[in-house]
């Protein structure tokens, strides 16, 4: 039973387990209480909560089923509505001026630089990289390379904020005043008690980068990750504790959406970072009276320009952008606007061939955790009712698998819809609906239809990632100047996915838009501006009481 075990118990398990199991446990990192290879229906894992410095269970266990075979393989102690009091108390212990700020406990900025350095070193160990990559694969099935890349981005992020880089996030500025003794200082100030809510598809990267950003700026966060994948962050929190993260600095809650909603309404965090669907994002924005930053849905576009070149490479990037992680990236290529010059280039045939390479055995195609096969087929059939539409490839369920029916299992699919049809008001909402699975819409445009393409992009509601695949500088300049997506790649190698830690990732065009991972994102999301005006005198000897004004 690879349960959540105390260190002593773990040592006993390692002593008593059969050699093969021992060898696996021997390669399990010291902080770990689960083994990715062990977790299964016959050896289920447990996930607990962490509140006010202690790991806790709950009266309610929510069983998570293995996305590959439906076995109950993880049980999560999901906090019930009657059990949120300790989380509320914990958040209430943090004042609005935070656990630290530029004028209070500044040594904590240095502490977090040290924690980042230690965590970066530990996460960079090959066995630890592999541990998290495999654990991610178990709960959010993606290819090993995709899972490893998520861990590597997280590790590089931690490297980025070693040493003085955390205190540099709180860099302030001074402006001279009108008279001696007066000056104004601009500071980045924490919010204090905050909340972080993250989805299932990046079990480590999104929660970790947002958690550390919140802590760096002096906040006290309660973190909630989708229960389907929260085992990953539970293990990462253990790693962070081993690297010096103070036990009282953050809480970790497992719950369903409704209980988390209740906690937010009753604990009143001063800021909530939400990453997930637009439906929930808009609800929370209303419930929390705007005290949110959102990374919500992505309906991400790619425009191929008139200059056809590097067709094999472009086809490969299109395949990766649309179908890696079975299309379950907020940055996934959802619609491809192909200039007509590409129609005779063989691009679509190459994309079809690449999609057919994908197989369940290596998880280059796999379970879809929030859209069923039936829902994807229904969406496809609705698109096929549009005049001139057709399936380019895919369009069928995966075969020969044991993926439970609560999850989707679909071949990589592309549906062609004529551009003029897309723009018709009766079709636009349907065509631009985000399908969080291996599904994309393809269309083409002629030289004189770029305006229609840009109209389509303007009418979309989500402006997360985009790609303009061209090396024509005037074309790039024109499209970039008349679009808004917050993370836009431009050039013949442009992609929509795989954002690393070294550039902004987030939507644009929405004042509630969040970002992740960069200094700009951390400061924008996890701090606010505070101006302190010093006016210490001396009062001039000649001063006399002026008339009232
Ligand atoms: N912008 C980004 O960076 C980004 C990244 C990943 C996923 N996403 C989006 O997330 C969606 C897929 O994830 P999903 O279907 O799990 O999203 P979801 O909104 O259903 O769930 C996201 C998280 O919110 C929690 N939640 C649900 N209802 C809640 C409520 N009322 N109050 C508080 N918390 C609640 C869930 O338990 C989960 O932890 C897609 O739309 C995708 O585009 C966006
Ligand atoms: O490329 C992506 O979709 C991920 C999500 C958050 C940052 N990068």
Q: Which of 277, 433, 462, 508 to mutate to test the pocket of ligand 1 (most atoms within 8 A of CB)?
A: 277
pLDDT tens per residue across all 549 residues of the chain: 344 444 455 555 445 444 555 555 566 899 999 999 999 999 999 999 999 999 998 889 999 999 999 999 999 999 999 999 999 999 999 999 999 999 999 999 999 999 999 999 999 999 999 999 999 999 999 999 999 999 999 999 999 999 999 999 999 999 999 999 999 999 999 999 999 999 999 999 999 999 999 999 999 999 999 999 999 999 999 999 999 999 999 999 999 999 999 999 999 999 999 999 999 999 999 999 999 999 998 899 999 999 999 999 999 999 999 999 999 999 999 999 999 999 999 999 999 999 999 999 999 999 999 999 999 999 999 999 999 999 999 999 999 999 999 999 999 999 999 999 999 999 999 999 999 999 999 999 999 999 999 999 999 999 999 999 999 999 999 999 999 999 999 999 999 999 999 999 999 999 999 999 999 999 999 999 999 999 999 999 999 999 999
**How large is the ipTM?**
0.96
477 token code pair: 């300049």
Please pick, among 46, 78, 295, 444, the residue that the annotation labels catalytic: 295
How far does the centroid of ligand 1 lie from the alpha carbon of residue 226, in Å? 8
Picking from 304, 334, 300, the residue whose alpha carbon sits closest to that of residue 446 is 304
Known catalytic membership, residue 330? yes
Whose tokens are 């977790």? That residue is 39
Domains and CATH numbers, the chain: 85-296+519-528 (3.40.605.10), 300-490 (3.40.309.10)
Cis ω for the linkage preceding 538 (within 30 of 0): yes
Is 425 a known ligand-binding residue? no
Known catalytic membership, residue 295? yes
Please pick, among 94, 318, 325, 330, the residue that the annotation labels catalytic: 330
How far does the centroid of ligand 1 lie from the alpha carbon of residue 275, in Å? 5
Ligand positioned closest to the Cα atom of 502: 2
**Are 35 and 17 contacting, i.e. CB atoms less than 8 angstroms apart?**
no
DSSP 305-364: -S----HHHHHHHHHHHHHGGGG--TT-EEEEEEEGGGTTTTHHHHHHHHHHH--GGGTS
| Model confidence, pTM | 0.95
> Residue 79 to residues 59, 84, 250, 259, 470: CA-CA distances in angstroms?
8, 7, 16, 7, 50
* Coil/strand/helix, residue 293: strand
In angstroms, rounded to a whole number, what is the distance separating the alpha carbons of residues 111 and 219? 14
DSSP structure class, residue 195: E
- Provide residues with CB under 6 Å of ligand 2: 202, 205-206, 329-331, 497-499, 505, 516
């Amino acid at each position: 039973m690879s349960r959540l075990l105390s260190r002593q118990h773990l040592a006993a398990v390692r002593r008593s387990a059969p050699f093969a199991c021992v060898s696996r446990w021997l390669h399990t990192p010291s902080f770990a209480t689960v083994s990715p290879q062990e977790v299964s229906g016959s050896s289920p894992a447990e996930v607990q909560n962490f509140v006010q410095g202690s790991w806790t269970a709950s009266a309610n266990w929510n069983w998570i089923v293995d996305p590959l075979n439906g076995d109950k393989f993880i049980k999560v102690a999901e906090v019930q509505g009657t059990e949120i009091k300790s989380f509320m108390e914990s958040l209430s212990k943090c004042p609005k001026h935070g656990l630290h700020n530029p004028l209070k406990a500044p040594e904590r900025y240095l502490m977090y630089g040290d924690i980042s350095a230690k965590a970066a070193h530990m996460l960079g160990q090959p066995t630890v990289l592999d541990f998290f990559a495999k654990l991610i694969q178990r709960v959010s099935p993606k290819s090993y390379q995709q899972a490893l890349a998520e861990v590597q981005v997280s590790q590089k992020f931690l490297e980025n904020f070693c040493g003085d880089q955390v205190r540099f996030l709180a860099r302030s500025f001074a402006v001279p005043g009108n008279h001696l003794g007066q000056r104004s200082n601009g500071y980045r100030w924490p919010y204090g008690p905050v909340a972080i809510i993250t989805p299932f598809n990046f079990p480590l990267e999104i929660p970790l980068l947002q958690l550390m950003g919140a802590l760096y700026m002096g906040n006290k966060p309660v973190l909630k990750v989708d229960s389907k994948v929260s085992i990953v962050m539970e293990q990462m929190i253990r790693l962070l504790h081993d690297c010096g993260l103070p036990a009282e600095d953050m809480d970790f809650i497992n719950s369903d959406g409704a209980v988390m909603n209740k906690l937010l309404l009753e604990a009143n965090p001063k800021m909530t970072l939400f990453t997930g669907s637009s439906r929930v994002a808009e609800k929370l924005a209303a419930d929390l009276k705007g005290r949110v930053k959102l990374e919500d849905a992505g309906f991400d576009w790619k425009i191929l320009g008139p200059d056809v070149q590097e067709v094999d490479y472009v086809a490969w990037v299109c395949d990766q952008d649309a179908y890696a992680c079975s299309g379950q990236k907020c940055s996934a290529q959802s619609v491809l606007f192909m200039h007509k010059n590409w129609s005779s280039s063989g691009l679509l045939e190459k994309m079809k061939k690449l999609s057919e390479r994908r197989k369940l055995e290596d998880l280059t195609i796999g379970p879809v955790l929030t859209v069923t096969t039936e829902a994807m087929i229904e969406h496809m059939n609705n698109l096929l009712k549009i005049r001139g539409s057709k399936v380019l490839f895919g369009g069928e369920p995966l075969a020969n698998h044991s993926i439970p029916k609560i999850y989707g299992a679909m071949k990589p699919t592309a549906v062609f819809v004529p551009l003029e049809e897309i723009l018709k008001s009766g079709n636009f909402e349907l065509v631009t609906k985000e399908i969080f699975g291996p599904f994309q819409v393809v269309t083409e445009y002629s030289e004189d239809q770029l305006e229609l393409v840009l109209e389509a992009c303007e009418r979309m509601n989500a402006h997360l990632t985009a790609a303009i695949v061209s090396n024509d500088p005037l074309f790039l300049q024109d499209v970039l100047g008349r679009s808004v997506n917050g993370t836009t790649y431009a050039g013949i190698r442009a992609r929509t996915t795989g954002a690393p830690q070294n550039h902004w990732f987030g939507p644009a065009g929405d004042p509630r838009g969040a970002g992740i991972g960069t200094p700009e994102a951390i400061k924008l999301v996890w701090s606010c501006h505070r101006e302190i005006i010093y006016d210490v005198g001396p009062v001039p000897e000649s001063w006399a009481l002026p008339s009232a004004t």
